[in-house]
Structure formats: structure tokens, C-alpha cells
Amino acid sequence: TQLLEQSPQFLSIQEGENLTVYCNSSSVFSSLQWYRQEPGEGPVLLVTVVTGGEVKKLKRLTFQFGDARKDSSLHITAAQPGDTGLYLCAPMNYGGSQGNLIFGKGTKLSVKP
Amino acid sequence: NAGVTQTPKFQVLKTGQSMTLQCAQDMNHNSMYWYRQDPGMGLRLIYYSASEGTTDKGEVPNGYNVSRLNKREFSLRLESAAPSQTSVYFCASRTPAGENTEAFFGQGTRLTVV
């Protein structure tokens, strides 16, 4: 069983601030996904990072995969109330069956206007 | 496109009652999943089905059973509901494994056991 830790668990900030959330593990992954879950909805995929050291940008969101492919970060620039939600990371391993889609506990972000 | 459809959206059960949560997807995905979500606990995997005819336990299978009725449908059954099973339940289906894999979720079933 892989241990997956997300931090911080909760984050409450003002509109316009920058923030970074983390997803850490002791295991090496083939890739890692970030999902966002808005209140009352199911999670939606934001991005998949595949290569160690990879950086992907999605508007004001910047995702980075650690060089050793054990951890990832999500940085949001100039946060807006629409960024409010639960951010979940999910590691991917391509070998074996496609079962065991496991998520971290998430970071609950609240952006106040 | 409906995507992943869960029914019911809300349910209140008395302790000891049984019920089945229904899930159907119209994306022709092989893999389907059931999760529960409790405050501060993220999504915990209950059971999954990698293909029609197969099911496997996830992180928290106790107290639940599943049936992969066909490729579209994956149901979750609570035989004797307990207050500890009060939660929001999400069903998901996923595209094939690989760099472009993506999970799609239903809108959830909010279950209260009293």
C-alpha cells in the first residue's frame, strides 16, 4: 500500500493571493494526476504529469512532478473564488491491472473575495 | 452525453435496512469504481471492477458488496446499513490505463443512516 500525503489539509486565503499545495509519497509513480472537486460535484481531472521534473501550466495553475516522480506540487497564482474546491492527487502505475485508483485526502481550498 | 449517472441522489436509511446504489456509464469504459467520501478523508476506494465480470476489494470494502451487471452498470449494496456508513458515495468510470487515462465521476449519492 502506498502512502500518499497531501498538505496542507485546509487553506483559506483572500482573492489575489498565491498558494502552493503538495502531494508527497515514498513510492515512485509512472505518472500523477490532479483532480478538483467543487462543492456538491464529483472530481474533475485537471492535469496528468508524466516525466520527472515536468512542469505543466493550465491558465493560473502550475503543476510540477518531482524529479524522482515521488511527489508533485500545484501552484495557483492570483487565486480567485472560482478556484475554491478540494484538490486531490492520484498516482498512476501502468504495470499490472488498472485497478486501485487511489486518491490522497486532498487539500480543501477556500478563496474569499 | 450523460457520462456517469448515479441513483438515488439522496437516501435516508434506518440502521439494519438494506439498499442498492446504482451506477451506469455510457462511455464504454471497462473500469468502474465505488468510493465513499467523509469529511477530511478524501475519497476512499470501496470496490472496483477492472472489466465486466470482475470485481476487487479496495481500501474499505467491509459492509459492502458490488455487482458488475454488465459493461455499463456497477451497483453497490449495503446489506445491513450502519450509522458508520453515513457518507457521500461516488461512482466513477475510467478510460484505459496510460498517460491519457481519465476518471469520470457521477454527482454522488448522499446517504444518511439513522
Q: Please give the grid coordinates belonging to residue B57.
A: 476489494
* Chain A residues within 8 A of B92 when measuring between CB atoms: 42, 101
Whether B105 has its CB under 8 Å from any CB of chain A: the answer is yes
A98 with B94: Cβ contact below 8 A: yes
Q: Over the stretch B10-39, which tens digit does the pLDDT of each residue have?
A: 999 999 999 999 999 999 999 999 999 998
Compute the 3-state secondary structure of chain A and give helix, strand, coil in percent, each to the nearest 5: 5, 50, 45
Three-state SS at B70: coil
> Which is higher by pLDDT, A51 or B40?
A51
* Chain A residues within 8 A of B96 when measuring between CB atoms: 98
Is A95's pLDDT higher than 70? no
**In whole angstroms, how far apart are CA B20 and each of B12, B66, B71, B80?**
12, 9, 18, 11
Shortest alpha-carbon distance between residue B34 and chain A (Å): 10
Using CB atoms within 10 A of its CB, is residue A26 exposed (0-12), middle (13-18) or buried (19+)?
Answer: exposed
